[in-house]
Structure 1
Amino acid sequence: MNINEMLKNAKRIQSEMEKDEQVVAKQSFVVEKQGIKVTMNGQRKITEIIINEALIDPEDPELIQDLVMLAVNEALEKIEAAYDEIGKKYSNNGLPF
């Protein structure tokens, strides 16, 4: 493979990878934890939080705080996993470097 072919192949792969990343960026990632529902987009922005009214206890705000934190962290993990899959898909994709 000559250098021009390698560069052309690298540009093609980069273009495909950018398209895949755009798809993930537009996806919604939803996590539900014991009455807390968190929705985030692939850009790591929270788009919705729903809290079951039965969980609202003024005597124990830590419960809701903990559940929201767990749900947000899990949603972030899902997003990272989606981007990791893209990285795996294109790693060493026939390129010699």
Structure 2
Amino acid sequence: KDLAQRCGLNALAAVDSLVGLENVVKVVKVTGFVASAPGFTGQPAVINGASDLFGTVFGEAGRHARSAVGVAELPLDAPVEIELIVEVA
């Protein structure tokens, strides 16, 4: 969950550098990928780290559609990846 929150912070930094956080109207969708062992089913709880962050930063505008997917491996042995789609003004 902490690493998903860190991914969320990195995503917000990317958005800020491109368009400025002040121009975000809404967080539209978050897709989270979690490197998972066979039988692990807690991917949604892991991705809550990012979802909770977006709610804290944007309030109601941070509510979003979401997918949490378990995968065998991620590039560069990353434990978590977040994809973020935001609407900007």
TM-score, normalised via structure 2 length: 0.34
- Identify the structure with the greater helix proportion: 1
Give the greater-gyration-radius structure (CA): 1
Structure with the larger RCO, 1 or 2 (CA within 8 Å, 6+ apart):
2
- Identify the structure with the greater strand proportion: 2
